[in-house]
Amino acid sequence: MSEEAVVALAAVTVLGVLQQAYFSLQVIYARRKYSVSPPATAGPPEFERIFRAQANCSEYFPIFIAVLWTSGVFFSQGLSSVCGLLYLYGRLQYFHGYSESAQRRLAPLYFSARVLWVLVGFSLLGVFFSFCRVYLKVDLLRGLGSA
Amino acid sequence: MSEEAVVALAAVTVLGVLQQAYFSLQVIYARRKYSVSPPATAGPPEFERIFRAQANCSEYFPIFIAVLWTSGVFFSQGLSSVCGLLYLYGRLQYFHGYSESAQRRLAPLYFSARVLWVLVGFSLLGVFFSFCRVYLKVDLLRGLGSA
Amino acid sequence: MSEEAVVALAAVTVLGVLQQAYFSLQVIYARRKYSVSPPATAGPPEFERIFRAQANCSEYFPIFIAVLWTSGVFFSQGLSSVCGLLYLYGRLQYFHGYSESAQRRLAPLYFSARVLWVLVGFSLLGVFFSFCRVYLKVDLLRGLGSA
Ligand SMILES: N[C@@H](CCC(=O)N[C@@H](CS)C(=O)NCC(=O)O)C(=O)O
Ligand SMILES: N[C@@H](CCC(=O)N[C@@H](CS)C(=O)NCC(=O)O)C(=O)O
Ligand SMILES: N[C@@H](CCC(=O)N[C@@H](CS)C(=O)NCC(=O)O)C(=O)O
């Protein structure tokens, strides 16, 4: 795997890490503001929404990274990186929406879920084509091209 | 690293992502069924078991992916992929068992933990052999083969 | 990517997985000791601190792995692996500190956060240099060397 083939995926990954750091800091500030000292996680609804927004984004982070790379390596680095940026944008909206009200988390949640499904679809396609090349010695993409 | 050497690991990874998506959807349905609106996470025991089953699987997902790939790249792609499928099967049983009763989560938990330990063992062996090749210029596997 | 270029990163990854397994076992022992049966997560403060310590370390685990590898592949395997070991050391102190009192989690938290920022910095530098090489055909590192 050449550097060229993955550098954009690495850039999106680091951006995702920076976003997670930003969400964590917001929880730390919210803990101070609403006086919710660890190990407590219950508090006023304002705090709990921020706490859950970060927890939810953290839960999806490894899933996102897994499909970003599978899709980027086996399907297309360019398309995957664009989807990666859209996903991170959606998650930022989700975090801020959820912080305001539970209702406002929904639209960005659906958006980011849709982007994640696109990445899953790309991954499935990429892995399927790769399986055909490696185990069946059939290159479907080249077949399509010459047809 | 050639495509051939990792395509089965990528396939198991995408399957794992689909499983995580399935678990998340079950939590969303359970939130509706038992009327537990975010940011709340407490509710009737039926809900809490489904909620915790998904949380527990999410917590182990990055650990699973990390050993799947380390073991697959440094030890054996074939053996790691088979263990990966067994692990995902165990986690499906865990999720459904835990949804029914806390007691029924135990047998599949022990099963999936054992599979995870096997992957950890493979990873340790693979990384150890690789260290010997790279830093000590000793190829233990070839040594074994010619002995 | 050659085996040589990533074997130390793989070793730190497996060590991180072993640490996560150790933290999980501590939660299981604490559940028995303080009689907090799943799906419950609330209990005496002693239990909740151990529970949250493990949850917090789990939340950061995928972030840690992501920057460890980005930094190790695009910047320097040696420096990243050393930071990786320091991070894991910090997390062990965090876990034991938090188990004793919420106050004692703070010093190791700051330490491990600082190490994580160093890895983020290395990743940013590495990805930036790589971008320049790949898309602008400028090799900043070589430029520096010959200046
Ligand atoms: N999930 C974390 C996100 C932010 C974080 O990492 N906080 C640090 C400093 S307050 C911590 O030690 N949290 C304790 C915990 O997660 O239980 C939280 O709830 O606090
Ligand atoms: N852990 C999630 C899993 C499912 C999920 O992603 N749910 C979406 C739609 S209900 C969400 O925004 N959950 C809010 C939250 O996690 O606090 C949950 O508890 O709901
Ligand atoms: N977060 C886990 C860490 C340890 C673990 O994996 N425990 C197993 C055996 S007690 C489990 O099934 N936990 C149930 C749960 O996480 O809800 C916990 O809270 O228990």
Residue C99 sits in a domain whose CATH number is: 1.20.120.550
Q: Which of residues 33-62 of C touch B (CB under 8 A)?
A: 37-41, 55, 58, 61-62
The pLDDT assigned to B66 comes to 98
- What residues make up the domain containing B16? 3-146
pLDDT in tens, C92-138: 999 999 999 999 999 999 999 999 999 999 999 999 999 999 988 88
Give Dmax (Cα) for chain B. 66
Report the SS3 class of residue A27.
helix
- What would the two tokens of residue B77 be? 């792609």
Say how far apart CA A16 and CA B41 lie, in whole Å: 26
Alpha helices, DSSP H only, in chain B? 7-33, 45-74, 77-100, 106-135, 140-146
Closest ligand 1 atom to Cα of C49 = 17
Grouping H, G, I as helix, E, B as strand and the rest as coil, residue A39 is coil
Contact B20 A63 (CB under 8 A): yes
3-class secondary-structure state, position A146: helix
Query: What share of chain A in percent tops pLDDT 70?
Result: 97
Average pLDDT, chain A: 95
Residues of A in contact with B10 (CB under 8 A): 70, 73-74, 123, 126-127, 130
The fraction of chain C above a pLDDT of 70, given in percent, is 97
CB A83 within 8 A of CB A122: yes
Q: Annotated catalytic, B32?
A: yes
Mutate to test the pocket of ligand 2, among A47, A56, A106 (most ligand atoms within 8 A of CB): A56
pLDDT, position B141:
74
Percentage of chain B beyond pLDDT 90 is 88
What's the one-letter identity of residue A4? E
Q: Would you state the structure tokens that stand for residue C5, as one six-digit string?
A: 């270029």
Look-up of token digits 């989700």: A94
- What is the spatial distance between Cα A128 and Cα A134, in angstroms, rounded to a whole number? 10
Domain count, chain A: 1
Mean pLDDT to the nearest integer, A128-132: 94
Q: At what angle do helices A45-74 and C45-74 cross, to 10 degrees?
A: 30
Q: Give the pLDDT confidence of A49-104 residue by residue, as tens digits.
A: 999 999 999 999 999 999 999 999 999 999 999 999 999 999 999 999 999 999 99
Q: Tokens 């509710």 correspond to what residue?
A: B43
Check whether A31 has a pLDDT greater than 80: yes
Please report all neighbours of B, defined by 3+ CB atom pairs within 8 A.
A, C
